[in-house]
Structure 1
Amino acid sequence: MAPPPVDVRVTRDDDGIVRVTVGGAGPDFTLAVLDVAGAVLSWSVLGDPGPPAAEIHDVGRAQQWLWAVYGERVAAAVHACATGQLAETVVPDDPTSLAADAARLGFGHWAARWWPASHLDGIPALQPDVLGLELAALTHQCQQLFDGTAGDFDGQPDACAAELIEDHRAALDPLIQWWRAASTGPAQQVERVLRLIDDAADGAGLDGPELRRLRSLLDRSSPAATTSLNPGALFARSDGYALAAGELLVTGGRLIARGSGTNDWRRYPAGLVDASENAVSWTARALGARRQFEVEVVAHSAAPTTGAPLTAEIRVNDGPRKRVALARRDDMWTGRTDLDLPPGETRPRVELGVLLPGFDPGPGPETAAERDAIRALVRRRLTAAAQPTANDALPHGSFSAPFLAEIAAATTDEDY
């Protein structure tokens, strides 16, 4: 059943950009964003996955997909605003299958960038190669959104299915095993992903033993189920990451104070820090006349051990902000610095956050409520993913059925 039409506002800025507005905006980590031909599309993952908002900078290039995503009325309104016939108008969209596929592709890219994996919060990480291959399949399915040829998508970083297949081909053989073992649940979803990957690889001229095995199997009739299989076990990590109770960086000295900091997901890329609100903590100690400030940040399970200049930003008693380099130690990012505190200070007012320099968006509104809403969303999705035949349990605004990476995460045996 197609969703009902939604009214969208179409306007033209003074700089010539045509905007299609649907509802309100939110923090960037609540937005699924997709770079397409001539425009950027976005959806709120916390809202109804209806038509996307759009910022169209090249209406000519966008004409190839505008009508197919929004319908003829919105496409005509965009053209009228672009040519100066209208300054602003409100028209209903015409829901389409490409709009639904684009929303799902956008949500997949959101999951790759913002999924709040956390040992502390019990939210498992998504296996990147599984997600990457499903994104490759969806990208191929949504080729009308992009212009260019295979491997040539200037200014469209989300467009190249072939590159995704090459980057994530390590999951091809496990996906084939999943397909051959599955008799119920996501079997059709796995097969659809594999057939789209095969078609995309063939069109891009990709080759390799995994792709040849895939084609050979797809050329036969659908394989009969062999044995039951836990998809989480197929993609389990082998890095041995386990959350340990962190020890204080310094032994001895007198404890002055301790507390927690702010874990703002916007200030570092995915895969560096555990997404929990409680992942960032600090301790102030007196070591003789010195006052030392220690920082501990729970690392993401995929965090690199070297090469990432993760930094803590500290402000004490409304003083200047100071940045301290952090180093990966086991399952923690740690760092320390000397601070000037008044003699006898026992309750310093501390602001502490963690960031990757150059990735910092600067000050913004408080977003703790939106982070909680994101955690609630992914928990609902994981609950539904653990019961693939019960997808109706997903709330309105869930961007359709779980991704394969969500199903694998929901059935993992790892300790979360």
Structure 2
Amino acid sequence: MTEVHVARGRDGSIRVAADAVPGQTGGDDESAPGADFTRSVLDVAGALLVWPVLGARTPPVAYVHDVRRAQQWLWAVYGDGVAAAVHDAAAGELTGVRVRARTGALAGTAARLGLGHWAARWWPASYTDGIAELEGDVLGLELAALTHQCQELFDYLDDSVAELIEEHRAALDPLLRWWHATPRPAQTARHLGSVLRLIDDAADCAGLDGPELRRLRSALDEERGHGRTPAPVDLSALFPGRDGHALAAGAAPGAGGRVIARGSGTNDWRRYPPGFVDAAEDAVSWTARAHGALRQIEVEVVAHVTAPAAGVPLAAEVRVNGGTPHRVPLTRRDDVWAGRGELDLPPGAGLPVTAPPRIEVGVLLPGFDPGHGPDTGVEREAIRDLARRRLADAAQPGAYGTEPFLAEILAAATGEDY
């Protein structure tokens, strides 16, 4: 059991957390330092639940903005004592109190659901770093199953679950074949069976139908009866969505001139959607060149294997000696995003007698970019280490006492090209 601090903030919202920071109830809470990609988040009935992705497992921090709605799940996540304390805090009967939390099964499932949504947004897939991509449809179906399992947390469950099943139903038949495959660890088979049964139940509750769901129901009925004889299967053939990834060789068309400076840029994952850019720290590179009196910068960014091929205005943001940033449009060329633009350098920059200019380059999607935050290179490396550990654990399900996601098991089994 863990003690949590329950306090009412100045705006009337209630904060529940294992540490005591009175009055801190906003999204920038001091108890949750670090970049947003270091936290998993669930938007639940009347509240926001937040867990740290790195470090020790703790009960979630809850930011409760509607106590009446949140009471439907507070007792199941934190225990009756915490639910009562939240009620009293909302009524103004206390300003802050420590209460012993009694976390139940829902707390663990909710944490897993939050982590799954984190993986869907922030998983650092990288060809150059050797971190395999997670199969999106497989992860999406497991999120549907977990959401159905956590129905106490939500006001309107069927719509969100139905959307996940509909969006990712292409993975249902491959999952069924994987479930009936051999060889596979017994724990993986149980995990697959549990996810498939939850999807079937969720689809039934939501009134969904279709050939894939009918085949799922038939397979489950057969399993309840006399079972099925396992058959060998190639997982790579079941989930063939990942294309080969070989970085394009050679200089960009038109390259030339005298090199003034070159380096690596900043790869801030928060500045573009998932799936656009390889998550490696050195995915962004640039070269400044002199063409007579003209100064240009060439930027190359390693593309993620599922990056859109055209029609996306990805851009590089270039800043010289801390000055005003300007943007260089990037286009997809083979396995890189590439672009070239003029570089505004001080007079004499690039000459042998002068110091090289200080050039900073980042990549972003205009309109999506939330803007610059604090330097998070250390946190990004910690997230990469976490992903590598999870993939290593997924290669031996059950060996480390944790249950990986099906998408992680699949990535560990089929990610030899990474």
TM-score under structure 1 normalisation? 0.92
The equivalent residue for 1:379 is 388
The equivalent residue for 1:358 is 367
Deviations 1:223-242, CA, capped at 9 Å, x for gaps: 34523334344213254443
1:130 to 2:126 alignment: no
Secondary structure of 1:390's aligned partner: coil
1:207 to 2:209 alignment: yes
The equivalent residue for 2:231 is 227
* CA distance, structure 1, for counterparts of residue 76 and residue 249 of structure 2: 53
* CA distance, structure 1, for counterparts of residue 323 and residue 180 of structure 2: 62
The equivalent residue for 1:120 is 128
* CA distance, structure 2, for counterparts of residue 64 and residue 56 of structure 1: 12
- The residue type paired with residue 253 of structure 1 is G
CA distance 1:260–1:306, shift in 2 (3 Å):
same
Secondary structure of 2:399's aligned partner: helix
Alignment of 1:321-332 (within 5 A): 321-332=325-336
Shift in Å at residue 411 of structure 1?
A: 0.8
Alignment of 1:249-268 (within 5 A): 249-268=253-272
* CA distance, structure 2, for counterparts of residue 389 and residue 225 of structure 1: 24
1:21 to 2:36 alignment: no
1:405 to 2:407 alignment: yes
Q: Which moved more, 1:233-242 or 1:69-78?
A: 233-242
Q: Which moved more, 1:311-320 or 1:111-120?
A: 311-320
Q: Which moved more, 1:17-26 or 1:238-247?
A: 238-247
- The residue type paired with residue 165 of structure 2 is I
Deviations 1:308-327, CA, capped at 9 Å, x for gaps: 22121111122211112211
The equivalent residue for 1:6 is 2
Deviations 1:340-378, CA, capped at 9 Å, x for gaps: 222242511011111122332333222111111111111
The equivalent residue for 1:40 is 48
Secondary structure of 1:388's aligned partner: coil
- The residue type paired with residue 378 of structure 2 is A
The equivalent residue for 2:26 is none
* CA distance, structure 2, for counterparts of residue 245 and residue 390 of structure 1: 41
The equivalent residue for 1:345 is 350
* CA distance, structure 2, for counterparts of residue 232 and residue 32 of structure 1: 29
* CA distance, structure 2, for counterparts of residue 371 and residue 300 of structure 1: 17
Alignment of 1:50-89 (within 5 A): 50-89=58-97
* CA distance, structure 1, for counterparts of residue 332 and residue 318 of structure 2: 18
* CA distance, structure 2, for counterparts of residue 275 and residue 225 of structure 1: 41
The equivalent residue for 1:31 is 39
The equivalent residue for 2:104 is 96
CA distance 1:51–1:344, shift in 2 (3 Å):
closer
Which has the bigger relative contact order, CA under 8 A and spacing at least 6? 1
* CA distance, structure 2, for counterparts of residue 77 and residue 307 of structure 1: 52
Partners of 2:132 and 2:415 within 8 A in 1: no
- The residue type paired with residue 177 of structure 1 is R
* CA distance, structure 2, for counterparts of residue 358 and residue 47 of structure 1: 32
The equivalent residue for 2:192 is 190
Secondary structure of 1:173's aligned partner: helix
* Unaligned ranges ≥5, structure 1: 152-159, 393-399
CA distance 1:95–1:326, shift in 2 (3 Å):
same
- The residue type paired with residue 329 of structure 2 is A
TM-score under structure 2 normalisation? 0.91
CA distance 1:319–1:50, shift in 2 (3 Å):
closer
Deviations 1:110-154, CA, capped at 9 Å, x for gaps: 000000000010001100000000000000000000013522xxx
Q: Which moved more, 1:305-314 or 1:118-127?
A: 305-314
Shift in Å at residue 265 of structure 1?
A: 1.0
The equivalent residue for 2:156 is 148
Shift in Å at residue 218 of structure 1?
A: 0.4
Secondary structure of 1:81's aligned partner: helix
Cα RMSD, aligned residues only: 1.6
The equivalent residue for 1:369 is 378
Q: Which moved more, 1:187-196 or 1:360-369?
A: 360-369
CA distance 1:414–1:308, shift in 2 (3 Å):
farther
* CA distance, structure 2, for counterparts of residue 144 and residue 271 of structure 1: 32
The equivalent residue for 1:155 is none
Deviations 1:27-86, CA, capped at 9 Å, x for gaps: 100101011111111100112333111111111111100000110111111111111001
Partners of 2:320 and 2:344 within 8 A in 1: no
Q: Which moved more, 1:317-326 or 1:222-231?
A: 222-231
Deviations 1:266-305, CA, capped at 9 Å, x for gaps: 1111111110000001001111211111111111111111
Q: Which moved more, 1:405-414 or 1:27-36?
A: 405-414
* CA distance, structure 1, for counterparts of residue 229 and residue 146 of structure 2: 25
CA distance 1:232–1:84, shift in 2 (3 Å):
farther
* CA distance, structure 2, for counterparts of residue 103 and residue 44 of structure 1: 10
Partners of 1:7 and 1:90 within 8 A in 2: yes
The equivalent residue for 1:415 is 417
* Unaligned ranges ≥5, structure 2: 20-30
Shift in Å at residue 413 of structure 1?
A: 4.8
CA distance 1:12–1:232, shift in 2 (3 Å):
farther
